[in-house]
Amino acid sequence: MIKGVFIAFGIMLVCFLIPLVHFVAAPASPFIGGYIGISYARSGSRSPVAKAFTFGALLGGLVLTIAVLASAAVTAVADLGRFFWVLWGGVIILAVYTASMSALGALFSLLKSDSEVHGAGQEPARDPARDPAIEAPTVHTVEN
């Protein structure tokens, strides 16, 4: 799971660093990272919701740790005055946003792969003998 979290974090960084594209890609990057990163996590016996929640919590924790360290450095170096709470509020919002969007991306990926494995979306074969909506074929005979 940790490998997938670091892959998702790398995707987030790449989406943020590309000039001009980051205006569109950066807000979607936690979802994209969760969608791709969860595929590198081992599949266990837990439900897809539990896996996605764990993945989102780990990625959100990583982002929170990095943002807290960066914000603490900024707070130590600069006198923010009234913007102190804006900075720390942004840290919390960024961590919660990252955790929730990456969990949604991971859940979407897990449910999509689960439906492909189990063949969801395919209509099961219908048996005319058991389904009254299907008419049995009629046999026409020709008499002389």
| Distance in Å from the first CA to the final CA of the chain | 77
Say what the pTM is.
Answer: 0.76
Largest Cα–Cα distance in the chain? 107
pLDDT digits (tens, 9 = 90+) for 108-129: 999 998 777 666 555 655 665 6
pLDDT digits (tens, 9 = 90+) for 26-58: 899 999 999 999 999 877 788 889 999 999 999
What is the DSSP-derived secondary structure letter of residue 1? -
Contact 91, 72 (CB under 8 A): no
Q: Cα dihedral sign for 121, 125, 130, 134?
A: positive
